[in-house]
Chain A
């Protein structure tokens, strides 16, 4: 075998600008998935304060919910969850072989819908934080 030169990872990372819709969808889905698992663990951890009794739980939740930062993070979480759900549905369709030609459009649609839903739910999420 002749020698060869492997261009390595550095180049690959520089390629994101050339990614196409399907690749972005993949990256976003991965990212949102990971965020969601992370949240699932934290969520259960927070909830398990209930084991320490009535007051402890109510107290923790109320304190957390009164923080603006937590509310903002929750909006972020919603965005992440909504995108993951919408794109997840897109992926389920793809798995069923439905609408493959429109895969890029459905990705854009997921993005736009996620934005819309997130913005629309901001009032509800922020309500009572002040």
Chain B
């Protein structure tokens, strides 16, 4: 199966080879690499498609600000031999390891817990490792998350997402703690059950990417951050005073009120967190706590 990706050494003038890597040479190298992988890949794809019926046709978004030919975004097509249980991530890894090593995407755990590999697959936000190829119609179109800046190929800039997550003071900060260092805080089972779903967030950013409001208003905290605030505001261990402060954070101008209950966040969340429900509950909490001042 494995067909390597040998660098076909092209005849270049030796003088140039020896000189220190000039900008020009780098450029040529890039172009060379580009041409080679493209040609290679095409041949490969055609061959594979012929020899085996059982391949999956994937179309992957490509972009690299530095590499000639990739500066204008384009789609590359790969035909990946299908094995039972193959996920979108597996297909990408196969394409990278066998056809084009420069295919770039984040991934790590392969088990839906690190949150690295949220992509836009056939028009919706999905975790690559948790999405079976067999459930998708061909060709499978894989793009980076919408509404985020693309760094390269499927890699998007997550900084904005992280900033929003940090903006809600995402850390447990109880009004008081038990005295003894071996004394735990008590929490009822019901309360843990209440916050349980909200603690499952893996920071994949799928929800934020799916939300039209977040797309239009860059300052909107977004479903994941609001859910994070929910996780603390609803945890009885933190205490009333802190909860009020948390509500103040989320009911700012770009907080919960921006949410228009589109539900797409809830639909795409790979951890099945009822995001809209949490946002709505916080809206009501905020109204309740403000009514006191009226």
Asked if chains A and B are in direct contact (CB within 8 A), the reply is: yes
B280 touches A6 (CB 8 A): no
Contact of B123 among A6, A18, A25 (CB under 8 A): A18
| Any B CB within 8 A of the CB of A23 | yes
Classify chain B: how many residues form its interface, as a range.
20 to 34
Which of A7-15, A48-56, A68-76, A115-123 is the contact stretch? A7-15
B137-187 residues at the A interface, CB under 8 angstroms = 146-147, 149-152, 157
Which of B17-25, B111-119, B262-270 is the contact stretch? B262-270
Which of A34-42, A57-65, A95-103 is the contact stretch? A95-103
A1-30 residues at the B interface, CB under 8 angstroms = 1-7, 11-12, 15, 17-23, 25-26
> How many interface residues does A have (CB within 8 Å)?
27
- Tally of A-B residue pairs with Cβ under 8 A? 72
CA distance A18 to B126 in the complex (A): 13
B73 touches A7 (CB 8 A): yes
| Any B CB within 8 A of the CB of A86 | no
Q: Is the interface of A mostly helix, strand, loop or mixed?
A: helix
Q: Which residues of B contact A25 (CB under 8 A)?
A: 262
| Any B CB within 8 A of the CB of A91 | yes
Contact of A94 among B123, B150, B152, B261 (CB under 8 A): B261
Q: Which residues of B contact A12 (CB under 8 A)?
A: 146-147, 215
CA distance A25 to B263 in the complex (A): 10
| Any A CB within 8 A of the CB of B260 | yes
Q: Which residues of B contact A2 (CB under 8 A)?
A: 65, 151-152
A23 touches B212 (CB 8 A): yes
Q: Which residues of A contact B274 (CB under 8 A)?
A: 100
B63 touches A5 (CB 8 A): yes
B263 touches A20 (CB 8 A): yes
Q: What 1/0 mask marks residues of chain B from 59 to 76 whose CB sits below 8 Å from any chain A CB?
A: 000010110000001000
Report the minimum CB–CB distance from A8 to chain B (whole Å).
10
B-side interface residues toward A, CB under 8 Å?
Answer: 63, 65-66, 73, 123-124, 146-147, 149-152, 157, 212, 215, 260-264, 267, 274, 276-277, 280-281, 283-284
**Which are the 9 A-B pairs with shortest beta-carbon distances?**
A22-B263, A18-B123, A4-B149, A3-B65, A22-B262, A5-B150, A26-B262, A100-B277, A94-B261
